[in-house]
Structure 1
Amino acid sequence: MVFRRRDRRSVLRAIADFLYPKGGWTRAFHYVKHRVRRLPDTPERIARGIWAGVFTTFTPFYTMHFLVAFLISRVIHGNILAALMATFFGNPLTYVPIGFASLKTGHFILGTEFEEGAARSFGGKFIDAAHDLQSNFVAIFSDREPDWQGLSVFYSEIFLPYLVGGIIPGMIAATVCYVLSVPVIRAYQKRRKKQIKKKFDAIRRLAEAEEDAARRSE
Protein backbone atom coordinates (compact mmCIF):
# COMPACT_ATOMS: atom_id res chain seq x y z
CA MET A 1 0.00 0.00 0.00
CA VAL A 2 1.21 3.50 -0.85
CA PHE A 3 0.28 5.10 2.50
CA ARG A 4 1.30 2.22 4.76
CA ARG A 5 4.09 2.95 7.23
CA ARG A 6 7.36 1.26 6.30
CA ASP A 7 8.35 1.02 9.96
CA ARG A 8 5.36 -0.55 11.68
CA ARG A 9 5.04 0.75 15.24
CA SER A 10 4.42 -1.52 18.17
CA VAL A 11 1.49 -0.86 20.51
CA LEU A 12 3.85 0.51 23.16
CA ARG A 13 5.52 2.78 20.59
CA ALA A 14 2.14 4.11 19.42
CA ILE A 15 1.13 4.84 23.02
CA ALA A 16 4.46 6.55 23.69
CA ASP A 17 4.10 8.69 20.56
CA PHE A 18 0.61 9.72 21.68
CA LEU A 19 1.81 10.71 25.15
CA TYR A 20 4.89 12.47 23.80
CA PRO A 21 5.06 12.89 20.00
CA LYS A 22 8.35 12.89 18.14
CA GLY A 23 9.86 16.38 18.40
CA GLY A 24 7.87 17.18 21.55
CA TRP A 25 4.51 18.83 22.17
CA THR A 26 5.83 22.30 21.28
CA ARG A 27 6.71 21.20 17.76
CA ALA A 28 3.37 19.39 17.40
CA PHE A 29 1.52 22.51 18.56
CA HIS A 30 3.31 24.74 16.04
CA TYR A 31 2.59 22.23 13.27
CA VAL A 32 -1.15 22.22 14.04
CA LYS A 33 -1.18 26.03 14.34
CA HIS A 34 0.54 26.34 10.95
CA ARG A 35 -1.92 23.93 9.30
CA VAL A 36 -4.96 25.72 10.76
CA ARG A 37 -3.79 29.15 9.58
CA ARG A 38 -3.31 27.86 6.01
CA LEU A 39 -6.83 26.46 5.69
CA PRO A 40 -8.62 27.93 2.63
CA ASP A 41 -11.63 29.45 4.38
CA THR A 42 -12.76 32.68 6.02
CA PRO A 43 -11.24 33.54 9.43
CA GLU A 44 -14.69 33.37 11.04
CA ARG A 45 -15.47 29.88 9.73
CA ILE A 46 -12.04 28.60 10.73
CA ALA A 47 -12.42 30.15 14.19
CA ARG A 48 -15.87 28.55 14.58
CA GLY A 49 -14.25 25.21 13.76
CA ILE A 50 -11.62 25.88 16.41
CA TRP A 51 -14.43 26.69 18.85
CA ALA A 52 -16.05 23.32 18.15
CA GLY A 53 -12.79 21.40 18.55
CA VAL A 54 -11.76 23.09 21.80
CA PHE A 55 -15.24 22.74 23.31
CA THR A 56 -15.25 19.03 22.42
CA THR A 57 -12.19 18.39 24.57
CA PHE A 58 -14.28 19.30 27.63
CA THR A 59 -16.76 16.49 26.94
CA PRO A 60 -16.38 12.97 28.38
CA PHE A 61 -16.71 11.32 24.96
CA TYR A 62 -13.14 10.04 24.83
CA THR A 63 -12.16 8.21 21.60
CA MET A 64 -15.09 10.03 19.93
CA HIS A 65 -13.82 13.61 20.01
CA PHE A 66 -13.33 13.73 16.23
CA LEU A 67 -16.95 12.72 15.68
CA VAL A 68 -18.30 15.16 18.29
CA ALA A 69 -16.17 18.03 16.91
CA PHE A 70 -17.37 17.20 13.39
CA LEU A 71 -21.04 17.31 14.44
CA ILE A 72 -20.70 20.54 16.44
CA SER A 73 -18.78 22.20 13.61
CA ARG A 74 -21.52 21.26 11.13
CA VAL A 75 -24.19 22.73 13.40
CA ILE A 76 -22.41 26.08 13.87
CA HIS A 77 -21.17 26.18 10.23
CA GLY A 78 -17.51 26.01 11.17
CA ASN A 79 -14.55 24.66 9.22
CA ILE A 80 -14.53 20.91 9.84
CA LEU A 81 -10.77 20.42 9.36
CA ALA A 82 -10.11 23.22 11.83
CA ALA A 83 -12.47 21.52 14.30
CA LEU A 84 -10.69 18.17 13.98
CA MET A 85 -7.25 19.75 14.41
CA ALA A 86 -8.44 21.87 17.35
CA THR A 87 -9.20 18.71 19.33
CA PHE A 88 -5.41 18.72 19.80
CA PHE A 89 -6.24 21.18 22.62
CA GLY A 90 -7.05 18.06 24.59
CA ASN A 91 -3.83 16.08 25.07
CA PRO A 92 -2.05 14.26 27.92
CA LEU A 93 -0.75 17.62 29.18
CA THR A 94 -4.19 19.25 29.42
CA TYR A 95 -6.60 16.38 30.13
CA VAL A 96 -5.89 16.45 33.87
CA PRO A 97 -6.82 20.15 34.40
CA ILE A 98 -9.70 19.81 31.92
CA GLY A 99 -11.08 16.78 33.74
CA PHE A 100 -10.58 18.35 37.16
CA ALA A 101 -12.36 21.59 36.17
CA SER A 102 -15.22 19.73 34.47
CA LEU A 103 -15.80 17.29 37.32
CA LYS A 104 -15.60 19.95 40.04
CA THR A 105 -17.99 22.22 38.13
CA GLY A 106 -20.37 19.36 37.38
CA HIS A 107 -20.61 18.14 40.97
CA PHE A 108 -21.09 21.73 42.13
CA ILE A 109 -23.97 22.28 39.67
CA LEU A 110 -25.60 18.94 40.48
CA GLY A 111 -25.07 19.35 44.24
CA THR A 112 -23.17 16.06 44.49
CA GLU A 113 -19.69 14.99 45.54
CA PHE A 114 -17.07 12.75 44.02
CA GLU A 115 -16.88 9.67 46.25
CA GLU A 116 -13.23 8.66 46.22
CA GLY A 117 -12.28 5.93 48.65
CA ALA A 118 -15.84 4.88 49.49
CA ALA A 119 -16.05 3.08 46.18
CA ARG A 120 -13.08 3.51 43.82
CA SER A 121 -10.65 6.15 42.58
CA PHE A 122 -11.20 8.16 39.38
CA GLY A 123 -9.19 5.72 37.27
CA GLY A 124 -10.67 2.75 39.07
CA LYS A 125 -14.20 3.79 38.12
CA PHE A 126 -13.16 3.92 34.47
CA ILE A 127 -11.77 0.41 34.82
CA ASP A 128 -14.93 -0.83 36.55
CA ALA A 129 -17.12 0.63 33.80
CA ALA A 130 -15.01 -1.00 31.07
CA HIS A 131 -15.09 -4.31 32.96
CA ASP A 132 -18.90 -4.15 33.21
CA LEU A 133 -19.21 -3.50 29.49
CA GLN A 134 -17.01 -6.49 28.70
CA SER A 135 -18.67 -8.81 31.22
CA ASN A 136 -22.21 -7.85 30.23
CA PHE A 137 -21.41 -8.34 26.56
CA VAL A 138 -20.22 -11.87 27.35
CA ALA A 139 -23.36 -12.39 29.48
CA ILE A 140 -25.50 -11.95 26.36
CA PHE A 141 -24.10 -15.23 25.01
CA SER A 142 -23.93 -17.12 28.31
CA ASP A 143 -25.86 -17.81 31.49
CA ARG A 144 -23.93 -15.17 33.44
CA GLU A 145 -26.03 -12.58 35.26
CA PRO A 146 -25.30 -9.02 34.02
CA ASP A 147 -24.00 -6.58 36.63
CA TRP A 148 -24.30 -2.83 36.00
CA GLN A 149 -22.95 -1.58 39.34
CA GLY A 150 -19.65 -0.30 37.95
CA LEU A 151 -21.34 1.47 35.05
CA SER A 152 -23.95 2.95 37.37
CA VAL A 153 -21.28 4.43 39.65
CA PHE A 154 -19.28 5.65 36.65
CA TYR A 155 -22.34 7.36 35.15
CA SER A 156 -23.50 9.09 38.34
CA GLU A 157 -20.11 10.11 39.72
CA ILE A 158 -18.03 10.77 36.59
CA PHE A 159 -19.83 10.78 33.23
CA LEU A 160 -22.87 12.91 34.12
CA PRO A 161 -20.95 15.48 36.24
CA TYR A 162 -18.24 15.63 33.55
CA LEU A 163 -20.86 16.14 30.82
CA VAL A 164 -22.71 18.88 32.74
CA GLY A 165 -19.63 20.51 34.24
CA GLY A 166 -17.68 20.63 31.01
CA ILE A 167 -20.18 22.97 29.36
CA ILE A 168 -19.23 26.18 31.20
CA PRO A 169 -15.39 25.87 31.18
CA GLY A 170 -15.59 24.41 27.67
CA MET A 171 -17.55 27.38 26.35
CA ILE A 172 -15.20 29.82 28.10
CA ALA A 173 -12.04 28.18 26.72
CA ALA A 174 -13.56 27.77 23.24
CA THR A 175 -14.75 31.39 23.12
CA VAL A 176 -11.34 32.69 24.20
CA CYS A 177 -9.72 30.64 21.43
CA TYR A 178 -12.29 31.95 18.93
CA VAL A 179 -11.69 35.60 19.88
CA LEU A 180 -7.92 35.17 19.67
CA SER A 181 -8.02 33.15 16.45
CA VAL A 182 -10.03 35.51 14.20
CA PRO A 183 -7.58 38.47 14.11
CA VAL A 184 -4.54 36.17 13.96
CA ILE A 185 -5.91 34.16 11.03
CA ARG A 186 -7.09 37.31 9.23
CA ALA A 187 -3.65 38.95 9.57
CA TYR A 188 -1.93 35.76 8.41
CA GLN A 189 -4.19 35.45 5.36
CA LYS A 190 -3.63 39.09 4.39
CA ARG A 191 0.13 38.69 4.69
CA ARG A 192 0.02 35.47 2.69
CA LYS A 193 -2.05 37.13 -0.07
CA LYS A 194 0.52 39.94 -0.30
CA GLN A 195 3.34 37.41 -0.55
CA ILE A 196 1.55 35.49 -3.30
CA LYS A 197 0.79 38.75 -5.15
CA LYS A 198 4.47 39.75 -4.98
CA LYS A 199 5.49 36.38 -6.45
CA PHE A 200 2.98 36.71 -9.31
CA ASP A 201 4.10 40.30 -9.96
CA ALA A 202 7.72 39.17 -10.07
CA ILE A 203 6.84 36.36 -12.49
CA ARG A 204 4.83 38.78 -14.65
CA ARG A 205 7.67 41.32 -14.77
CA LEU A 206 10.12 38.56 -15.67
CA ALA A 207 7.83 37.37 -18.49
CA GLU A 208 7.41 40.91 -19.79
CA ALA A 209 11.17 41.44 -19.72
CA GLU A 210 11.71 38.23 -21.66
CA GLU A 211 9.11 39.30 -24.23
CA ASP A 212 10.79 42.72 -24.62
CA ALA A 213 14.16 41.06 -25.05
CA ALA A 214 12.72 38.67 -27.66
CA ARG A 215 11.16 41.56 -29.63
CA ARG A 216 14.41 43.52 -29.61
CA SER A 217 16.36 40.57 -30.88
CA GLU A 218 14.06 40.15 -33.87
Structure 2
Amino acid sequence: MTEFFYPRGGWRRALSYMRHRLGRLPDAPHRIARGIFAGVLVSFSPLFGFHFILAALVAWALRGNIIAALMATFFGNPLTFPIIMTVSIELGNWMLGNSGMMPLPQVVAAFARASVEFWHNVQATVTDDVANWDNLSRFFWRVFLPYLIGGILPGIISGLACYYLSLPVIGAYQKRRKKKLRERIDKLREAIAAQDPQLADPAHVEQVEHETPPKSE
Protein backbone atom coordinates (compact mmCIF):
# COMPACT_ATOMS: atom_id res chain seq x y z
CA MET A 1 0.00 0.00 0.00
CA THR A 2 2.85 2.37 0.81
CA GLU A 3 4.54 1.70 -2.56
CA PHE A 4 1.23 2.43 -4.32
CA PHE A 5 1.27 5.99 -2.99
CA TYR A 6 5.07 6.38 -3.01
CA PRO A 7 7.01 3.96 -5.26
CA ARG A 8 10.23 2.43 -4.02
CA GLY A 9 13.00 4.83 -5.02
CA GLY A 10 10.64 7.80 -5.34
CA TRP A 11 8.46 9.18 -8.10
CA ARG A 12 11.45 10.59 -10.00
CA ARG A 13 12.96 7.14 -10.38
CA ALA A 14 9.59 5.69 -11.33
CA LEU A 15 9.10 8.32 -14.04
CA SER A 16 12.64 7.74 -15.31
CA TYR A 17 11.93 4.00 -15.51
CA MET A 18 8.72 4.66 -17.45
CA ARG A 19 10.57 6.95 -19.88
CA HIS A 20 13.21 4.29 -20.59
CA ARG A 21 10.58 1.58 -21.00
CA LEU A 22 8.61 3.69 -23.48
CA GLY A 23 11.76 4.51 -25.42
CA ARG A 24 12.69 0.83 -25.69
CA LEU A 25 9.35 -0.24 -27.16
CA PRO A 26 9.92 -1.76 -30.62
CA ASP A 27 7.66 0.63 -32.50
CA ALA A 28 7.71 3.94 -34.35
CA PRO A 29 7.78 7.07 -32.15
CA HIS A 30 4.47 8.38 -33.49
CA ARG A 31 2.69 5.11 -32.66
CA ILE A 32 4.11 5.12 -29.14
CA ALA A 33 3.06 8.75 -28.72
CA ARG A 34 -0.46 7.87 -29.87
CA GLY A 35 -0.56 5.15 -27.24
CA ILE A 36 0.51 7.68 -24.61
CA PHE A 37 -2.29 10.00 -25.74
CA ALA A 38 -4.80 7.17 -25.36
CA GLY A 39 -3.62 6.24 -21.87
CA VAL A 40 -3.61 9.82 -20.60
CA LEU A 41 -7.05 10.48 -22.08
CA VAL A 42 -8.55 7.41 -20.40
CA SER A 43 -7.02 8.48 -17.07
CA PHE A 44 -9.67 11.24 -16.97
CA SER A 45 -12.48 8.69 -17.18
CA PRO A 46 -14.51 7.74 -14.06
CA LEU A 47 -14.61 4.10 -15.22
CA PHE A 48 -12.15 2.91 -12.60
CA GLY A 49 -11.16 -0.71 -13.08
CA PHE A 50 -11.60 -0.47 -16.85
CA HIS A 51 -8.82 2.00 -17.69
CA PHE A 52 -6.56 -0.71 -19.15
CA ILE A 53 -9.32 -2.03 -21.41
CA LEU A 54 -10.39 1.44 -22.53
CA ALA A 55 -6.80 2.54 -23.16
CA ALA A 56 -6.15 -0.54 -25.29
CA LEU A 57 -9.31 0.07 -27.32
CA VAL A 58 -8.56 3.76 -27.89
CA ALA A 59 -4.95 2.97 -28.85
CA TRP A 60 -6.14 0.29 -31.26
CA ALA A 61 -8.61 2.72 -32.84
CA LEU A 62 -5.87 5.34 -33.23
CA ARG A 63 -3.35 2.74 -34.49
CA GLY A 64 -1.16 3.50 -31.52
CA ASN A 65 1.02 1.27 -29.39
CA ILE A 66 -1.18 -0.63 -26.94
CA ILE A 67 1.61 -1.30 -24.43
CA ALA A 68 2.41 2.42 -24.34
CA ALA A 69 -1.28 3.12 -23.74
CA LEU A 70 -1.39 0.72 -20.80
CA MET A 71 1.70 2.29 -19.28
CA ALA A 72 0.36 5.82 -19.83
CA THR A 73 -2.73 5.09 -17.73
CA PHE A 74 -0.43 5.58 -14.74
CA PHE A 75 -0.79 9.29 -15.52
CA GLY A 76 -3.71 8.82 -13.17
CA ASN A 77 -2.06 8.09 -9.82
CA PRO A 78 -2.57 9.04 -6.17
CA LEU A 79 -0.82 12.35 -6.81
CA THR A 80 -2.86 13.39 -9.85
CA PHE A 81 -6.27 11.83 -9.19
CA PRO A 82 -7.33 14.55 -6.71
CA ILE A 83 -6.65 17.18 -9.38
CA ILE A 84 -8.27 15.11 -12.13
CA MET A 85 -11.39 14.48 -10.07
CA THR A 86 -11.78 18.08 -8.94
CA VAL A 87 -11.29 19.62 -12.38
CA SER A 88 -13.46 17.06 -14.17
CA ILE A 89 -16.40 17.15 -11.77
CA GLU A 90 -16.47 20.92 -11.41
CA LEU A 91 -16.23 21.41 -15.17
CA GLY A 92 -18.91 18.76 -15.75
CA ASN A 93 -21.29 20.32 -13.23
CA TRP A 94 -20.76 23.71 -14.86
CA MET A 95 -21.47 22.28 -18.32
CA LEU A 96 -24.61 20.53 -17.05
CA GLY A 97 -25.79 23.59 -15.14
CA ASN A 98 -25.69 21.89 -11.74
CA SER A 99 -25.52 24.19 -8.75
CA GLY A 100 -23.18 23.61 -5.83
CA MET A 101 -19.84 21.84 -5.86
CA MET A 102 -19.06 18.59 -4.04
CA PRO A 103 -15.85 18.53 -1.96
CA LEU A 104 -13.26 15.93 -2.95
CA PRO A 105 -13.65 13.75 0.20
CA GLN A 106 -17.37 13.45 -0.53
CA VAL A 107 -16.63 12.46 -4.13
CA VAL A 108 -14.30 9.66 -3.01
CA ALA A 109 -16.84 8.49 -0.43
CA ALA A 110 -19.60 8.55 -3.08
CA PHE A 111 -17.56 6.30 -5.39
CA ALA A 112 -16.91 3.89 -2.51
CA ARG A 113 -20.60 3.70 -1.56
CA ALA A 114 -21.66 3.34 -5.19
CA SER A 115 -19.27 0.41 -5.72
CA VAL A 116 -20.62 -1.41 -2.67
CA GLU A 117 -24.24 -0.74 -3.59
CA PHE A 118 -23.72 -1.76 -7.22
CA TRP A 119 -22.30 -5.18 -6.30
CA HIS A 120 -25.02 -5.61 -3.69
CA ASN A 121 -27.68 -5.02 -6.33
CA VAL A 122 -25.97 -7.43 -8.73
CA GLN A 123 -25.93 -10.12 -6.05
CA ALA A 124 -29.57 -9.37 -5.27
CA THR A 125 -30.54 -10.72 -8.69
CA VAL A 126 -29.63 -14.24 -7.54
CA THR A 127 -30.46 -13.93 -3.82
CA ASP A 128 -33.42 -12.89 -1.68
CA ASP A 129 -32.02 -9.38 -1.08
CA VAL A 130 -33.88 -6.39 -2.48
CA ALA A 131 -32.04 -4.21 -5.00
CA ASN A 132 -32.20 -0.45 -4.49
CA TRP A 133 -31.09 1.73 -7.38
CA ASP A 134 -32.21 5.11 -5.99
CA ASN A 135 -28.85 5.97 -4.44
CA LEU A 136 -27.00 4.86 -7.57
CA SER A 137 -29.28 7.03 -9.69
CA ARG A 138 -28.41 10.09 -7.61
CA PHE A 139 -24.72 9.15 -7.80
CA PHE A 140 -24.94 8.86 -11.58
CA TRP A 141 -26.51 12.28 -12.11
CA ARG A 142 -24.59 14.12 -9.40
CA VAL A 143 -21.10 12.59 -9.62
CA PHE A 144 -20.54 10.06 -12.40
CA LEU A 145 -22.07 11.94 -15.35
CA PRO A 146 -20.40 15.29 -14.51
CA TYR A 147 -17.10 13.45 -14.08
CA LEU A 148 -17.54 11.64 -17.41
CA ILE A 149 -18.48 14.77 -19.39
CA GLY A 150 -16.12 17.13 -17.60
CA GLY A 151 -13.13 14.82 -18.04
CA ILE A 152 -13.28 14.78 -21.85
CA LEU A 153 -11.85 18.23 -22.54
CA PRO A 154 -9.02 18.21 -19.95
CA GLY A 155 -8.27 14.62 -20.95
CA ILE A 156 -7.86 15.60 -24.60
CA ILE A 157 -5.75 18.64 -23.70
CA SER A 158 -3.49 16.63 -21.37
CA GLY A 159 -3.27 13.78 -23.87
CA LEU A 160 -2.24 16.10 -26.70
CA ALA A 161 0.30 17.81 -24.46
CA CYS A 162 1.85 14.45 -23.56
CA TYR A 163 1.74 13.40 -27.22
CA TYR A 164 3.68 16.40 -28.49
CA LEU A 165 6.09 16.33 -25.56
CA SER A 166 6.84 12.61 -25.82
CA LEU A 167 7.14 12.40 -29.61
CA PRO A 168 10.53 14.18 -29.95
CA VAL A 169 11.82 12.67 -26.71
CA ILE A 170 11.09 9.10 -27.81
CA GLY A 171 12.51 9.78 -31.28
CA ALA A 172 15.74 11.18 -29.84
CA TYR A 173 16.00 8.32 -27.33
CA GLN A 174 15.61 5.70 -30.05
CA LYS A 175 18.20 7.40 -32.28
CA ARG A 176 20.67 7.59 -29.41
CA ARG A 177 20.05 3.95 -28.56
CA LYS A 178 20.60 2.88 -32.20
CA LYS A 179 23.78 4.92 -32.31
CA LYS A 180 25.11 3.21 -29.19
CA LEU A 181 24.21 -0.17 -30.65
CA ARG A 182 26.10 0.61 -33.87
CA GLU A 183 29.11 1.74 -31.84
CA ARG A 184 29.09 -1.55 -29.92
CA ILE A 185 28.91 -3.51 -33.18
CA ASP A 186 31.80 -1.50 -34.64
CA LYS A 187 33.90 -2.11 -31.52
CA LEU A 188 33.12 -5.81 -31.71
CA ARG A 189 34.18 -5.91 -35.35
CA GLU A 190 37.40 -4.07 -34.53
CA ALA A 191 38.12 -6.56 -31.75
CA ILE A 192 37.49 -9.48 -34.11
CA ALA A 193 39.62 -7.87 -36.81
CA ALA A 194 42.48 -7.46 -34.36
CA GLN A 195 42.43 -11.22 -33.71
CA ASP A 196 41.76 -12.39 -37.27
CA PRO A 197 41.17 -9.84 -40.06
CA GLN A 198 39.51 -12.48 -42.25
CA LEU A 199 36.71 -13.01 -39.71
CA ALA A 200 35.73 -9.34 -39.85
CA ASP A 201 35.55 -9.32 -43.66
CA PRO A 202 31.83 -9.09 -44.71
CA ALA A 203 32.55 -11.19 -47.81
CA HIS A 204 33.98 -13.93 -45.64
CA VAL A 205 30.97 -13.85 -43.33
CA GLU A 206 28.61 -14.15 -46.32
CA GLN A 207 30.65 -17.03 -47.72
CA VAL A 208 30.52 -18.90 -44.42
CA GLU A 209 26.76 -18.44 -44.23
CA HIS A 210 26.29 -19.94 -47.72
CA GLU A 211 28.67 -22.84 -47.10
CA THR A 212 27.19 -23.79 -43.71
CA PRO A 213 24.70 -26.63 -44.24
CA PRO A 214 21.28 -26.21 -42.64
CA LYS A 215 20.68 -28.05 -39.39
CA SER A 216 18.60 -31.18 -39.67
CA GLU A 217 15.28 -31.02 -37.87
TM-score w.r.t. length of structure 2: 0.84
SS of alignment partner, residue 79 of structure 2: coil
8 A Cα contact 2:90 2:101, kept in partner: no
Give how far 1:134 is off: 3.3
- 1:85 correspondence with 2:71: yes
Measure, in 2, the Cα distance between the counterparts of 1:41 and 1:130: 38
Measure, in 2, the Cα distance between the counterparts of 1:114 and 1:131: 25
- 1:208 correspondence with 2:164: no
1:123 maps to which of 108, 113, 123: 108
Partner of 1:9: none
Question: Is the alpha carbon distance of 1:113 and 1:140 closer, same or farther for their aligned partners in structure 2, counting shifts above 3 Å?
Answer: same
8 A Cα contact 1:115 1:157, kept in partner: no
Measure, in 1, the Cα distance between the counterparts of 2:106 and 2:121: 22
Give how far 1:188 is off: 1.0
- 1:37 correspondence with 2:1: no
TM-score w.r.t. length of structure 1: 0.84
Unaligned 5+ runs, structure 2: 200-217
1:73 maps to which of 54, 59, 70: 59
Question: Could you list the per-position Cα deviations for residues 38-75 of structure 1 after superposition, in whole angstroms to 9, with x for gaps in the alignment?
Answer: 11111100000000011110001112111111110000
Partner of 2:184: 199
Partner of 1:4: none
Measure, in 1, the Cα distance between the counterparts of 2:198 and 2:116: 79
Partner of 1:27: 13
**Deviant stretches of 4+, over 4 Å:** 114-117
- 1:46 correspondence with 2:45: no
Which moved further from structure 2: 147-156 or 73-82?
Answer: 147-156
1:55 maps to which of 37, 41, 61: 41
Measure, in 1, the Cα distance between the counterparts of 2:79 and 2:169: 24
Tell me the C-alpha RMSD between the 2 structures: 2.0
